[in-house]
A and B are shown apart, each in its own frame.
Chain A
């Protein structure tokens, strides 16, 4: 294993230092380090962050390998500065058995670009009718701790209660896609002025807020851990703020796109902007940004959702919802939060690692710590070209936008996965 000496790099925004990476860990820090056998990276002007951790990634394998594979998604993740991603369960077949989660976990190990931590389905086939074998997935080689029917809401309150209770046995967590299904039948975009003008069926904010309100009460009642996926409305922020003030064990994520883009994007009828939950309004964006800075929202998660060209190059109503996120998330965070490195590390690495129970991730580079880290050039600006992305899909909503920041290198347990801004394998 080649050692690496990173010279003159700012660790999470601190004064520049050298970092020596050897045998999978950060061996030494300090100025003027020497290591004749090491590859040298000039870190001048760069910021080292603990490797990013994504709690919400769709890798599409098994089932839609034309849109993404574990390998291509892992490469996209590494290029985005990630060292671990949690793979959502809505594959085909659904990741609702030990067999499927172990398959995804093994594919992640084989790709070797990030740690792929499978998420298990809460219910069999995501059908919302009966619990999947959560214990079997927890005991499998994949050691599943997060369970989610993401893409579908666990809408039945009794089933949600039971799921929250059941996973306590192995310190599991239920990650809810909060969407009251009866209020969102046929929904195409945020319900508001723009949907009224465009004649597209609205997805009202209350459909998210009502489920979050119910779920925090359920979690409080049974004393379980709840995680709320992709929070998108100002009203949801208020529900979470009150729940957290009462001490409910709830965490929440926001996606980069919900921090930046509004429903006005739908005016083009280009389904690259179709996503679930939908893009909301400026008021929601302001509330989400404030909540993220404050900690009411704990983390940024990408909801990276690759889709084949034919599933997006069509009528809005017929398109599948979702957008790419792994290769642009840090840039959006920089754009939205500014160079607040400690905050970025907290929201994109330390806290998601803690929620997912990934102990070797989310730890700031320091002597003896596993060398899971990424180097960011904050001064760089880049134009997003869909064709240049490592994902198999092209459905980025940031096409031709100029975004700040570039990932220069990423290390997974001391091995470079990205060098000079390029994937090493």
Chain B
């Protein structure tokens, strides 16, 4: 098993499959009356969050607690971090407290990689800057596999602000390992020119959402910040929605079996309309539930937990 989970490229096919299979077992726990396993009893998991992200933090917290780990939430607000303590000093503090795993969310790309140099425990990247968010990619893969029964050979369109998206990077890397084909869709300003060479050679790029939709099994809509228009990535929110938003008529261009995903939080009316988000094709709520199972699997496997 890998020691850290920093990138969607870290798990090879066997490891990624093991994580997804383990997550499926973890999911059965959620259906029980007592949603708890003793697997990580006595182990300490620190949630180190330098960015507000209630959804991700709660998901990791629930995952660790269901495995009976001791959970310490270390939020940058109201802590020594806001007093100017360096990442290294924080790392040494966590090290001294005996953290077995550190789950880190940070606005700077690569911060989890730096942290991994300074702690003995496992580091889980819970989103770093505009870089990666590997557990999101794992839960997305898990959701696709649950809904569509396979990953190899799937065609996945990832639509939106690929340039600034950690979700997109991790998904491209992991889906490539798992044998899915990815097409990235968005305005040219938001799709780096060399993205396929940088991440996975088979990755396709399109600037025409309507042309791509009839051919995909999965369409994953990325959150697009309205403020990007102030930096001339696109002229206006309305124009963005018209060209790259997923609405009812566009959804109906999808093959019948295709699913619609979104990592949340959504900008309803920007990249996705309520009609689509709330439709039966949408897996958005499932993704949240699957997130807990997948994060349980990741923590369990990284920390070499006892038998289930």
Chain B associates with chain A: yes
Q: Which residue numbers of A lie inside 8 Å of B, CB to CB?
A: 188, 192-194, 196-201, 268-270, 310, 313-318
The smallest beta-carbon distance between A201 and chain B, in angstroms, is: 8
In the complex, which residue of chain B has the Cβ closest to the Cβ of A194?
B198
- Once the chains are docked, how many angstroms separate the CA of A314 from the CA of B195? 27
Given contact pairs A196-B192, A269-B114, A310 touches B109 in the complex (Cβ within 8 A): no
Q: Using Cβ atoms and an 8 Å threshold, which residues of chain A touch B114?
A: 269-270, 314-316
Let me know if A199 and B88 touch, CB within 8 A.
Answer: no
Q: Which of B129, B195, B197, B199 has the most CB of A within 10 A?
A: B129
User: Distance in Å from the Cβ of B170 to the closest Cβ of chain A?
Assistant: 10
* A269 and B110 within 8 A (CB): yes
Find residues 76-126 in chain B having any chain A CB closer than 8 Å to their own CB. 86-88, 106, 108-111, 113-114
A313 lies within 8 A of B88 (CB): yes
Q: In this assembly, does B61 line the interface, its C-beta being within 8 Å of a C-beta of chain A?
A: no
5 residue pairs A–B, Cβ–Cβ below 8 Å: A196-B199, A269-B114, A314-B88, A316-B114, A318-B108
Q: Does B65 contact A (CB under 8 A)?
A: no
Residue of A whose beta carbon sits closest to that of B118 = A313
Are A268 and B113 closer than 8 Å at their CB atoms? Answer: yes
* Closest Cβ–Cβ distance, residue A261 to chain B (whole Å): 18
B residues in contact with A192, CB < 8 Å: 194
Distance A314 CA – B198 CA, assembled complex (angstroms): 25
A199 CA / B129 CA spacing, docked (Å): 7
Known: A196-B199, A197-B199, A269-B110. A317 touches B194 (CB 8 A): no
* Chain B residues with CB under 8 A of A314: 86-88, 114
Q: Which A residues are in CB contact (< 8 Å) with B217?
A: none
C-alpha gap A317/B113 in the complex (Å): 13
Question: How far is it, in angstroms, between the C-alpha of A1 and the C-alpha of B194 when the chains are bound?
Answer: 62
Q: Is A317 a contact of B108 with CB atoms below 8 Å?
A: yes
Chain A residue contacts of B223, Cβ below 8 A: none
Distance between Cα atoms of A22 and B194 in the complex (Å): 61
The docked-state distance in angstroms from the alpha carbon of A314 to that of B130 is: 17
A199 to chain B, nearest CB (A): 3
The answer to whether B192 and A199 touch across the interface, beta carbons within 8 angstroms, is no
**Separation of A197 and B129 alpha carbons in the complex (Å):** 12
CB A378 to nearest CB in B, in angstroms, measures 36
| B161 proximity list for chain A (CB < 8 A) | none
16 new A-B contacts, CB < 8 A, other than A188-B109, A197-B169, are: A194-B198, A199-B109, A199-B132, A200-B129, A200-B131, A201-B130, A269-B113, A269-B114, A314-B88, A314-B114, A315-B108, A315-B111, A315-B114, A316-B114, A317-B108, A318-B108
Q: B131's contact among A198, A270, A310, by CB below 8 Å, is which?
A: A198
Given contacts A199-B129, A199-B131, A313-B88, contact A193 B197 (CB under 8 A): yes
B195 touches A196 (CB 8 A): yes
Residue of B nearest to A191 (CB): B192
Q: Any chain A CB within 8 A of the CB of B128?
A: yes
Lowest 5 A-B CB distances belong to which pairs?
A: A199-B131, A269-B110, A315-B108, A196-B198, A199-B109
In the complex, are the beta carbons of A316 and B198 less than 8 A apart?
Answer: no
| Complex contacts, A198 vs chain B, CB 8 Å | 109-110, 131
Q: Is the CB of A200 within 8 A of B110?
A: yes
Residues of B bordering A, CB below 8 Å: 86-88, 106, 108-111, 113-114, 128-132, 166, 169, 192, 194-195, 197-199
Report the tally of A-B residue pairs with Cβ distances under 8 A. Answer: 61
Contact of A199 with B87 in the complex, beta carbons under 8 Å: no
Closest to B117 in A: A270
User: Which residues on B sit within 8 Å (CB–CB) of A317?
Assistant: 108-110, 129
Q: Which residues of A contact B132 (CB under 8 A)?
A: 199
| Bound complex: CA A268 to CA B86 (Å) | 19
- Separation in Å of the B254 CB from the closest CB of chain A? 28
What's the Cα separation between A194 and B109 when bound, in Å? 13
Q: Give complex CA distance A314, B113 in Å.
A: 11
Cross-interface CB contact of B130 among A199, A316, A318, cutoff 8 Å: A199
Q: How far is the CB of A341 from chain B (nearest CB, A)?
A: 41
Return the chain B residue nearest A185 by Cβ: B231
CB distance from A421 to the nearest CB of B (A): 33
Q: Is the CB of A315 within 8 A of B87?
A: yes
C-alpha gap A192/B109 in the complex (Å): 16
- B residues less than 8 Å from A316 (CB atoms): 108-110, 114
Measured CB to CB, the closest approach of chain A to B80, in angstroms, equals 15
Chain A residue with minimal CB distance to B116? A269
Q: B165 CB to closest chain A CB, in angstroms?
A: 9
Given the complex, which residues of A lie within 8 Å of B86, measured CB to CB?
Answer: 310, 313-314
CB distance from B186 to the nearest CB of A (A): 14
Question: Are the C-beta atoms of B130 and A315 separated by less than 8 Å?
Answer: no
Closest-CB distance, A270 to chain B (whole angstroms): 8
- Known A196-B192, A199-B130, A199-B132; judge A315-B198 contact (CB<8 A): no
Minimum CB distance partner of B88 in chain A: A313
Residue pair A197, B109 in contact (C-beta under 8 Å): no
Q: Which residues in A have their C-beta under 8 angstroms from that of B194?
A: 192-193, 196
Indicate if the CB atoms of A200 and B199 lie closer than 8 Å: no
Q: By the criterion CB–CB under 8 Å, are B109 and A193 in contact?
A: no
A202 to B, closest residue via Cβ: B192
Q: Shortest beta-carbon distance, B111 to chain A, in Å?
A: 5
Give CA–CA (A194, B130) in the complex, Å.
13
CB distance from A278 to the nearest CB of B (A): 14
Residues from chain A with Cβ under 8 Å of B195 in the complex: 196
A197 to B199 Cα, complex, angstroms = 6
Interface centre among B110, B111, B113, B132 (most CB of A within 10 A): B110
By a CB distance below 8 angstroms, the chain B residues around A194 are 198
Residue picked from B114, B195, B199, most chain A C-beta under 10 Å: B114
How far is B52's CA from A355's CA once the two chains are assembled, in angstroms? 53
